[in-house]
Amino acid sequence: MTSGANTLVLPIVLPLLGAFLLPLVARFGDGLARALGIVLVVVNIFLGWTLWSAVGTEAAVTALGGFEAPLGIVLYGDRLAALFVAVLAVGALIFWPRAEHGGVKAYTLTLLLVAGGSGLVLSGDLFNIFVFYEIVAVASYGLAASSGDKAGFGAALRYLVLGALGSSLVLIGIGLVYAAAGTLNLADIARLAPEKLSGTTGLAAFLLLVLGFGVKAELFPVNTWVPEVYAAAPMRVTAILAGVVSKLAMVVILRLLVLVFHDPAAISLLMAVAIVTIVAGEFAAYRASDLNRTFAYSSIAQLGLVALALTIPATAGILAAIAVALHHAVVKPAFFVIAAKWRGPLAGLAGGARVAPAAAGLFVLLALSIIGIPPLPGFWAKLVLLGGAFDAGGAYAFAAAVVLAATVVEAAYLFRVVARIWQPAAGAKPAHFAFSDLSPALLLGVILIVATLFVAPIGTALSGAAASAADAGSYVARVLPGRM
Amino acid sequence: MIGLLDTLLVLALLTTVGLYVFGANRFAGYIGMAAYAAMTVIVVLVGQTLSGGETAVPSAMAFTVLGYPMTWRIDGLGWFFALLTTGAGFFAAWYMSGEWNEAQPNKRIQHGTLALNVLAMLLLVSSGDFLSLFIGWEIVSWAAFAMMTQLGGPAATAALRYLLYALAGAMALFAGILIVRSATGSFAFEDFAAAVPNLPTATKWVLFVLFTAGFGVKMAIVPFHLWQAPAYSFTPGASSSFLNAVSARMGLFALTLVLIKLMGPALLAGMDIAYTWFDARSALLWLTAITMIVPTYIALMQTDARMLLAWHGIGQGGYMLLGILVGTPLGLAGGLLHTFNYATYQMALMLAVFAVVHRTKTADLDELGGLITRMPFTYITLLMGIIGLAGLPPMNGFVSKWMIYKSLLNTAQPLLLIAAFIGTLGTILSVYKLIHNIFLGQLRLEHREVKEAPLSMLLPMLTLAGIGFVTGWMPGLALSMVDIAQSALGIGLQPHHLGGVDLPNGSLNMLWVVGVLIAAIGVGALIFYFLGNRRWEVSQYDNYAGGHFLSADVRYHFSHEFYPGLARVIGPWYRGWVVKMERGLQTLVAVLGDLSGGVFRFAHTPFYLLVAVSLGLLWVGLFGKI
């Protein structure tokens, strides 16, 4: 193994090892376990960064144990994977649990989530993708239930049932692919797909995979767990699940679309699912009764946007998907931080601006960005998405029109809240934010503003990542040299 | 290199930051005045460069994001609207410099949002491509929202309604610019202008509708007009006057830019609507005619002075767009001149009304009256303002309306001319109600001690009214500015002189008109003072109204349900179908929201998964390739 291979293996292995060791370390003190977890997450950020800088346009590939593809286990690290390894670790770092959030159990589960998530985006074959997807799933069920109250257990149980069904759909889908193509290596499947997977079997496999991964990716109609879990789970968990974990499933769908499924019918299926997801999410958010649910539904709609972006052909679509996903990963956790303090009916938020001016101001900034008001990053993400849609024309233009109309609904429910916050308080005042309560959101707000200032270089970097992620030929050539 | 435009934008930015920080200071009004005056001077310098033969003054500011370049530069058209913006900012700051400022609890917000709006508008009018235009457009919309929402309560409700209209418009615009980019490969104005004649008819129509709707929302063209009057009226005085004078005109600027400069009236006239005798241009002209008439008669029915004027603002925007869409040099000059004229008299009117509100704490037309004895200078401002609004000589509103009427006659569109006349008739009736209910008749008991507005508020009002008179007397002054704007449109200039315009079939020379008018008034005064019977002064309480003689012991002012006869005749027209459409849309969104929310509340979540898988597999079986 080369040093390049280390950056592929370590982001998975280190947190996994850490997750097993933490309960032992915790015997010497909770603080030590917490510190070790944080160190491992920081190392993952560093590894993601190293991978990003190392790979450029040529992705890093490593065959574990020296067994070459397509038989061996392959890890594939391009800039897209590097980005999400880093983003997941940053999210985990910002929302790292404290002792009162469940202590070592929470640390372990979070590290498990980081390990599984990194593995999910780095895996080069379907079997490992399934394994890591399950690790992520188990970790998130545990975290979702970690609030320890009745509502939390109920929501987590429902999440578990749906997630387990989703996983079995994934497994059936993978089985169909294996039956048709005879291999689980993504590059090998990509090579064989035009011949073996272009028919009904391929389409059925795609349907099952999309619905299966769609449970995590919050796609309609398998996303019914979302509002309940996000309302009941601890804020730190909600922020990571909504902000990052949902996107990891999208990365898998992205890989499948780029490498395996090019059938126009498959694309239209995903597009229909995406449009319904957007509409259902935004409209449900319009009638949501509290901030947590509002943001949960809004999160569904945003993932619908990511899915829609994935259907747009060529690099433009992938760039849009990455941009929307990254933007959402910054904005939505910050929203949930605010929602954690401002619980209860929306009417109770009157007077919020007076009690907590920083939170109110941040809310406006986040709302403006998620609606897509220039020059904030959300605007550029929407610009790439809608620009790609209008370039593609036809049904995409219709989808773009839906997105634009949904944006107005989005503005309606977000700024209704803003107007409420600025009204004088009637009755009990909304909660005050201590600096430590708001600091994760403030940090994300600063990231958002910095991203606004550096939108040009960020755009260039993401375009590069999108271009290499869209290059199926290079994926196959890197993993299976000499087989093209 | 830092040029004039950069200096202007940097100054506007510094003003915004400075006034937000120091806005609570008692000298904030003066700081604002100085800043806006300096900006106006820079704009004038830009104008000199432009009239010296330059087509545009560029900015050094330029970005390239994701391969899309964004540039800023100001041409004649943008310059004209920039001048209106900084000028209106100056008068608003002047109004806020003295007593007004001291009375406000939220000075900082008022000063800060005013500066922010000026900055946003300057950015918008100096945009150099569709992308920077969209960015400017959004910033203008949100800056206006910040200004409107500050007082909370009904103001916040009205502002939120505005926001949704504005955002819907912005989304139409967003779609428009993206379709432009898909069709032409860039966001550049030049590429669009070059490519648009060869675009498919369907694309041209889509773009026409999207841009007209997007920009039209800001101008409150019917049926997008419901938001404007309440949103403008509930904003604090000077800010409200600023919004009334120039904010909606940003829509006019953008419509003129896209429809006239880039697409061109000839192209629009060539886009026929099948089975009718309409084309894109004439259809929009008729929409404009409706916009002139309907809001004007809604204004007539208002009982709040601010709402009355704001509703007229919508109708007046119709006149401007009408002239511009006529597309001849005379029509364009008339439309643009009306924009300038309207800014002067509407701002004077709003400031006067807010002076009354400042003193009496009410804008309710049923609770005022007889204030002429207490606030004579405010009365004079309002009188001069309504003469301008009604389009009568010697004020400037007459000149621009005359030019618009004349352009309709010259292009053989008598029906539109009649529509314009109907609008003007409503305006005259309505403004009489305004001045009568506030200033004429008997003074109310509670207003006996009301004082005239302070000098800091009177001076900007009277100066604006004075500008309205001088540019009515010598319209050539304003028409030279219109020339700079018109030269950017490529349709030719309207020759003019100091007194007006010379046309082969009937000219207008205001030097003569005003001269004759003043002479006639002089003759009348001579007769009144020196001939006929002796005259004596009558007490304000010893006059009559509606055929009733009144005496000083009973105070009476006829104001409630003004024009009952007219209201009976046209009342049934106010069916409010647009209001019903708006409510219907709200209900639709709520129902869809409940449906969507209901899906998520449904407890048997795995059931959905089963249904989705079954239906999906059915679909795969039916439509998948074998």
Tokens of B459: 């001076």
Q: Are A455 and B621 within 8 A, CB to CB?
A: no
Which of A297, A284, A250, A313 is closest to A81 using CA atoms?
A250
Q: What digits encode the pLDDT tens for the residues B585-607?
A: 889 988 998 888 888 876 677 78
User: According to the model, what pLDDT value does residue B625 have?
Assistant: 57
Instruction: Give the distance from CA B108 to its chain's centroid.
Output: 25
Cβ contact, residue pair B593, A405, below 8 Å: no
Residue A3 has pLDDT above 50, yes or no: no
Name which of B178, B217, B585 to mutate to probe chain A: the one with the most chain A Cβ atoms within 10 A of its Cβ. Answer: B178
Average the pLDDT over B506-518 and give the result: 92
Give residue-wise pLDDT tens across range B233-271: 998 889 999 999 999 999 999 999 999 999 988 888 888
Domain locations in chain A as residue ranges = 263-470
Cβ–Cβ contact A391 with B under 8 A = yes
- Of A95-99, B304-308, B412-416, B471-475, the least confident: A95-99
Q: Give the gap in angstroms from C-alpha B141 to the nearest C-alpha of chain A.
A: 10
- The answer for A 274-293 residues in CB contact with B (under 8 A) is 279-281, 283-288
Nearest to B367 by CA among B567, B155, B555, B103: B555
A459 contacts chain B (CB < 8 A): yes
Q: How many CB pairs under 8 A join A and B?
A: 167
Average pLDDT, chain B: 89
Instruction: Supply φ then ψ for residue B162, to 5 degrees.
Output: -55, -45
A484 touches chain B (CB under 8 A): no
d(CA A76, CA A98) in angstroms, rounded, equals: 34
Which of the residue ranges A285-289, B134-138, B552-556 has the most confident prediction, judged by mean pLDDT? Answer: B134-138
CB contact under 8 A, B617 and A207: yes
Q: Which residues 239-258 of A are in CB contact (within 8 Å) with B?
A: none
Q: Does B178 touch chain A (CB under 8 A)?
A: yes
Asked if B599 and A463 come within 8 Å (Cβ–Cβ), the reply is no
Q: Which amino acid is at A218?
A: E
The pLDDT score that the predictor gives to residue B554 is: 65
Asked if B1 is an interface residue toward chain A (Cβ–Cβ < 8 A), one would say: no
Cβ atoms of A54 and A7 closer than 8 Å: yes
Closest by Cβ to B66, choosing from A161, A384, A415: A384
Whether A1 shows a pLDDT value over 70: the answer reads no
CA distance A76 to A475: 8
Instruction: Please tell me if residue A180 touches chain B, with a CB cutoff of 8 Å.
Output: no
Segment 154-173 of chain B within 8 Å of chain A by CB: 156-157, 159-160, 163-164, 167-168, 171-172
Closest alpha carbon within chain B to A376: B135
Three-state SS sequence of B398-432: HHHHHHHHHHHHHCCCHHHHHHHHHHHHHHHHHHH
| Residue B76: HSE in the Cβ half-sphere, 13 Å Cα cutoff | 21
Residue B511, pLDDT above cutoff 90: yes
Q: Label residues B576-598 b or e (16+ Cβ within 10 Å = b).
A: eeeeeebeeeeeebeebbeebbe
Convert the pLDDT of each residue in A318-372 to its tens digit.
999 999 999 999 999 999 999 988 888 888 888 888 888 888 999 999 999 999 9
| Closest CB from B163, B171, B623 relative to A404 | B171
The alpha-carbon gap from A287 to the nearest alpha carbon of chain B, in Å, equals 5
Residue A210 has pLDDT above 70, yes or no: yes
Chain A contact set for B119 (CB, 8 A): none
Percent of chain A exceeding pLDDT 70 equals 97
Closest CA–CA distance from residue B70 to any residue of chain A (Å): 11
Q: Which of A161-170, B357-366, B609-618 has the lowest mean pLDDT?
A: B609-618
Mean pLDDT lowest for which of A51-65, B369-383, B439-453, B551-565?
A: B551-565
Q: Which of A390, A420, A463 to mutate to test the interface with B (most CBs of B within 10 A)?
A: A390
Residue A236 scores a pLDDT above 60: yes
Residue A120 and residue A255: Cα distance in Å, rounded? 11
| Residues listed for chain A | 484
Strand partners, B364: B304
Interface probe, candidates B61, B234, B596, chain A, greatest A C-beta count within 10 A = B596
Helix (H, G, I), strand (E, B), or coil: what is residue B215? helix
What single letter denotes the amino acid at residue B492? G
Q: Output the average pLDDT for chain A.
A: 88
| C-alpha span between B8 and B123 (Å, rounded) | 10
A207 near B CB under 8 A: yes
Lowest mean pLDDT among A26-30, A176-180, A306-310, B428-432: A26-30
Indicate yes or no: CB of A419 within 8 angstroms of CB of B157: yes
- Range of lowest pLDDT (A121-130, A223-232, B383-392): A223-232
Q: How far apart are the first and last CA of chain B?
A: 66
Asked if residue A445 has pLDDT above 50, the reply is: yes
B187 to chain A: closest CA residue: A387
A 290-319 → B contacts, CB under 8 A: 297
Instruction: Give the distance between the most distant pair of CA atoms in chain A.
Output: 73
- Whether residue A419 and residue B602 make contact (CB cut-off 8 A), yes or no, is no
Q: Is A165 on the interface with B (CB under 8 A)?
A: yes
Asked if B120 is an interface residue toward chain A (Cβ–Cβ < 8 A), one would say: no
**Which chain A residues are closer than 8 Å to B595 by Cβ?**
283
- Distance, first Cα to last Cα, chain A: 24
| B589 lies within 8 A of chain A by CB | yes
Q: What's the distance, CA A43 to chain centroid?
A: 20
Using CB atoms within 10 A of its CB, is residue A417 exposed (0-12), middle (13-18) or buried (19+)? buried
The residue among B127, B609, B610, B626 with the most chain A CBs within 10 A of its CB, best to mutate, is B609
Hey, is the C-beta of B183 within 8 angstroms of any chain A C-beta? no
B206 shares contact with chain A (CB less than 8 Å): no
A408 neighbourhood in chain B, CB within 8 Å: 164, 167-168, 171
- The per-residue pLDDT for A2 is 47
What 8-state DSSP symbol labels residue B302?
-
- H helix intervals, B126-200: 130-148, 154-184, 189-195
Measured in angstroms, the CA of B383 and the nearest CA of chain A are apart by: 38
Residues in a beta bridge with B103:
none
Q: In this structure, what are the phi and psi dihedrals at residue B127, rounded to the nearest 5 degrees?
A: -70, 145
What is the number of other CB atoms lying within 10 angstroms of the CB of residue B547? 5
Q: Is the predicted pLDDT of residue A71 greater than 80, yes or no?
A: no
Q: Are strands B56-65 and A74-77 parallel, antiparallel or unpaired?
A: unpaired
The reply to whether A464 touches chain B by the CB within 8 Å rule is no
- How far is residue B398's CA from residue B500's CA, in Å, rounded to a whole number? 11
Task: State yes or no: pLDDT of B414 exceeds 80.
Answer: yes
Contacts of B604 (CB under 8 A, 6+ apart): none
B598: nearest CA in chain A? Answer: A284
Best mean pLDDT range from A53-57, B557-561, B590-594: B590-594
Closest-CA residue of A relative to B168 is A408
Contact with chain A for residue B202, Cβ under 8 A: no
pLDDT at B534 over 80: no
Residue B548 has pLDDT above 80, yes or no: no
Contact B149 A422 (CB under 8 A): yes
Q: Which of B199, B605, B618 to mutate to test the interface with A (most CBs of A within 10 A)?
A: B605
Q: Is B146 on the interface with A (CB under 8 A)?
A: no
Are B159 and A419 in contact (CB < 8 Å)? yes
